[in-house]
Amino acid sequence: MSRSLGRVSAGDGRREQRQAGEEDFRSYYGRRVLKEPVWEWLVPAYLFAGGLSAACAELAAGADLTRRPRLRKAARLGALGGLGTSMYFLIADLGRPERFHHMLRVAKPSSPMSVGTWILVAYGPGVGVAAMAELLPSRLRRSRPGKLLGVLARPAGLASAAVAPGVASYTAVLLSHTAVPAWNEARDRLPFVFTGSAAAAGGGFGMVCAPVDEAEPARKLAAVGAVTELVTSRQLDERLGVVSEAYRTGKAHRLRRWSEYLTAGGALGSLLAGRSRAAAVASGLALLAGSALQRFGIFEAGVESTKDPKYVVVPQRRRVDRGEQA
Amino acid sequence: MTVSRESFFGPLDDVSGDAGYTEHPERVGFFTDTSVCIGCKACEVACKEWNLLPDGGFDLLGMSFDNTGELSANSWRHVAFIEQPAPPREASPAREADAVDLGLPSFDLPGAGTGEETRTDFRWLMSSDVCKHCTHAGCLDVCPTGALFRTEFGTVVVQDDICNGCGYCVSGCPYGVIDRREGDGRAWKCTMCYDRLRDGMEPACAKACPTDSIQFGPLDELRERARERVATLHEHGVTEARLYGEDPNDGVGGDGAFFLLLDEPEVYGLPPDPVVPTRDAGSMWSRAGVAAAAFAAAAVSVFFGRSRR
C-alpha cells in the first residue's frame, strides 16, 4: 500500500544534496521526469540478432562471389536464423503482438521504427530465398522449382546484402530518436558502435561455423568490427557529459566491461584463428558474446538514464542557464 | 500538404494544416494557471470519470497531498503538491494601493497588525499537469502504426483500435507523459477530450476546475491571457511567476497545453528545456548512413587481398 512513506527527499524542490563532486539539481521528490522504456530484454536481444543477421548476409554474398561454399552456407543460414529470431523478439515485445501487421499500415519517415520495418521488409525475402537454396535437399535440386531456387539464390543474396548495412545501422537511430538521455546524447556515435558490434558478431559467427581455410574474410570482418566497437564504445563512457555516467556505472557498466574483455579477447584470438579451428571457435564465441553484452549494456544505460531525474534536469538546466536555444 | 523543416522542428503556425487538414477549426489548448490551483483534484476525478479510466490502486506516496505520483496510462491529469519555504516578498506598492479603508474605528491592541508579520515563510505550490499536446510531438513522430494522429483541433490522440503497443511513443515523449497500460498492452494518454471537443464542449477537467486554474480555449487567446496574467502577478510582487511551454520557439515548437508556474519547472517534475528528438532526425540518419557505408566497405574489402587458401 505505502510505497515510500518515509521518503522526503527534496519534495520542496530544494536542491538535492548529493555526494561530493555531483551536481546539485532540483526535482519533484526525486522522482523520474521521463517514463522508463517499456521494452524488455527482447529489444536488446533483437539489436544483437539483427546485427548478426546483417553481417552474415554480407559474408554470405561475398563468399558466394568468391566461391567459398561452406562459409556461404553458414552465413546464409546465420542470416536467416538471426532474422527469424529478430522477428520473434520484435513481435513478442509488442503490447499487442497479434497486431504486429499494423506496422505495415503506414510508411513514416519521422519514425525510425517504421523506416526499420520497411528496411526489414526489403531485407527479409532475399535472406529467405538464399537460405532456402542451401537447405534444399539434394534430390529436389534437379526439380524445376529447385533449379529456379538455385538460379535465384545469388541475386537474392546480393539484394539482401545491399540492404544489410541499413539493417545493421538503423537500430542506432531507433534508440537515439527518443527522449532517453543516454541514447539520445549518444546519437553521433551509436551507429558506429552498432555496425562495429554487428560486424564483430557476424565475423565471429563465420569463424565458429566455417572451416579455417574459408573463414579468412570472417576473421578480417570480425577484427575490423571489434576494433571499431571497442574504440567508439569507449567514447560513450567519456564524451557524453553528465549522461556518460549512465554508461560508466551500475549494471550497464558491468555488462559493457565484460563486452570489452570478450570483444578484445576475440579480436586478438582472430589473429591466431587462421591456424587452429579451436582458436577460431573460441574467439568467435567470445566476439558473439561481446556483441550481445554491448547491446544489453547500452540498453541498460538508457533505462537507467530515465530513472534518475539528474540525467534530464542537469543538462537541460545548464542549457537554460546559459541562455542557449534548444 | 508539404513536409518542410518546420514540420519537424521550430515554430509552426498552422499545425493542423501541416498535418494535412485543408479546413479545420482553430487550434485549442489548455492554459493551466497554477497560481490559483487549490489542489482539489477535481480535474483528476472528472478526467477519470469522463474517460472511464481504470483505478490506479490505492497508494499513499508520502509526497504532501499527492498520491497519484505522475501522469500515467490511467491518470491523464496529475496534481503536484510542493511544500517549500516561500520566497521573500518585498512590500508591493500595488498591494498597498489595493487595500480599501472601510472606515471602521480601530485602535492598536498588542499583537494587532496587518497580518503580514504573522505569516510563516511557507508556501504550498499546486499544479495540475497534463499532456502538452506539443506542436512537434515526439510520441506522434515516432509512432510506426499511425495510431497516434494530429486532430483537426491541433491536439494529439491515440487510436486504441490501431495501437499495437510497440512502446516507442513512451520513449519518444520528452515530458514522460504517455505510457503503456499494464494488462492492456496499448499506449494511453490525454485526448483533450476529443469526443467532447467534437460536440463543442470543453474538456472534462477544465469544466470541473472550480477556480479556473485550468482554462480551455483557442491557443492564441490563451497565450494572450497568460501574458496578461503574468504581468499582473509581477505587478503584485509575485516576480517568480513565469510561463512554461507557451513559446513557439522552444524545443517542441510550443505546447498546446502550457502553464503558469511559480518556481522552476523541474520542481514540478517538468523537464526544464525539453526537445523533440525529431529535431536531430536528419543528422542521426546521416551518421547512420556513414556508419552503414563503412560497414558495407568493410564487408567488401575483407574479400580482397591475399588469401591463405
Could you report the per-residue pLDDT of A138-177, keeping only the tens digit for each?
888 889 999 999 999 999 999 999 999 999 999 999 999 9
Contact A173/B308, CB-based, under 8 Å? no
- Residue A326 has what pLDDT? 75
In the predicted model, is pLDDT for residue B113 greater than 90? no
B197 CB near a chain A CB, below 8 Å?
no
Cβ-based contacts under 8 A for chains A and B = 290
Give Dmax (Cα) for chain B: 112
The per-residue DSSP string of A198-213 comes to HHHHHHHHHHHHS-TT
Q: What is the pLDDT of residues B194-206, one digit of tens each?
A: 999 999 999 999 9
For chain B, give the mean pLDDT: 91
Range of the domain at A123: 42-321
Half-sphere exposure of A66 (CA within 13 A, CB side): 26
The per-residue DSSP string of A49-81 comes to HHHHHHHHHHHHHHHHHTT-HHHHHHHHHHHHH
* Least CB–CB distance from A105: residue in B84, B145, B267: B145
Give Dmax (Cα) for chain A: 79
- Residue A8 has what pLDDT? 38
Contact between residue B167 and residue A95 where contact means Cβ atoms under 8 Å apart: yes
- Mean pLDDT value of segment A195-215: 97
CA distance B55 to B65: 18
| Integer CA distances (angstroms), A268 to A233, A263, A272, in order | 18, 9, 7
Does any domain span residue A267? yes
- Residue B5 has what pLDDT? 64
* Least CB–CB distance from B145: residue in A12, A103, A317: A103
B138 CB near a chain A CB, below 8 Å?
yes
- Mean pLDDT value of segment A205-228: 97
Q: What is the pLDDT of residues B168-219, one digit of tens each?
A: 999 999 999 999 999 999 999 999 999 999 999 999 999 999 999 999 999 9
Q: Give A67 to chain B, closest Cα distance, Å.
A: 11
Does any domain span residue A99? yes
Contact A38/B174, CB-based, under 8 Å? no
Q: Which of A312, A321, A322, A325 to mutate to test the interface with B (most CBs of B within 10 A)?
A: A312
Q: Is A115 left (phi over 0), alpha (psi -120 to 50) or beta?
A: alpha
Q: Which of residues 80-109 of B touch A (CB under 8 A)?
A: 80, 82-85
CA distance A50 to A292: 11
Half-sphere exposure of A246 (CA within 13 A, CB side): 28
Structure ipTM: 0.94
Contact between residue B227 and residue B31 where contact means Cβ atoms under 8 Å apart: no
CA distance A197 to A267: 12
Q: Which three three-digit cell numbers place residue B138?
A: 515526439
- Residue A101 has what pLDDT? 97
Q: Give me the percent of chain A exceeding a pLDDT of 90.
A: 88
CA distance A220 to B62: 58
Contact A199/B295, CB-based, under 8 Å? yes
- Residue A138 has what pLDDT? 87
* Least CB–CB distance from A191: residue in B163, B172, B287: B287
Band of the pLDDT at A278, cuts 50, 70, 90? very high
- Residue B97 has what pLDDT? 56
Q: What is the pLDDT of residues B230-272, one digit of tens each?
A: 999 999 999 999 999 999 999 999 999 999 999 999 999 999 9
Contact between residue B263 and residue B144 where contact means Cβ atoms under 8 Å apart: no
- Residue A20 has what pLDDT? 45
Q: Give me the percent of chain B exceeding a pLDDT of 70.
A: 87
Name the residue of chain A whose CA is nearest to B266's CA: A27
- Residue B92 has what pLDDT? 52
Contact A221/B82, CB-based, under 8 Å? no
Q: What is the pLDDT of residues B36-65, one digit of tens each?
A: 999 999 999 999 999 999 987 888 999 999
- Residue B105 has what pLDDT? 66
Does any domain span residue A21? no
CA distance B179 to B291: 32
CATH value at residue A285: 1.20.1630.10
- Mean pLDDT value of segment A231-243: 95
Contact A178/B271, CB-based, under 8 Å? no
Contact A169/B289, CB-based, under 8 Å? yes
Contact between residue A217 and residue A74 where contact means Cβ atoms under 8 Å apart: no
Q: Give A267 to chain B, closest Cα distance, Å.
A: 15
Burial-class residue A143 by CB neighbours within 10 Å (0-12, 13-18, 19+): exposed
Q: Give A139 to chain B, closest Cα distance, Å.
A: 31
Q: Which three three-digit cell numbers place residue B270?
A: 517538468
Does any domain span residue A14? no
Domains and CATH numbers, chain B: 13-85+119-276 (3.30.70.20)
CA distance A196 to A176: 17
Q: What is the pLDDT of residues A55-96, one digit of tens each?
A: 999 999 999 999 999 999 999 999 999 999 999 999 999 999
pTM as predicted = 0.91
Does any domain span residue A12? no
CA distance A180 to A39: 12
Q: What is the pLDDT of residues A18-52, one digit of tens each?
A: 554 456 899 999 999 999 999 999 999 999 999 99
- Residue B108 has what pLDDT? 66
Contact B274/A179, CB-based, under 8 Å? yes
B285 CB near a chain A CB, below 8 Å?
yes
Contact B145/A217, CB-based, under 8 Å? no
Does any domain span residue A19? no
Number of domains into which chain A is organized:
1
Q: What is the pLDDT of residues A129-140, one digit of tens each?
A: 999 999 999 888
Does any domain span residue A37? no
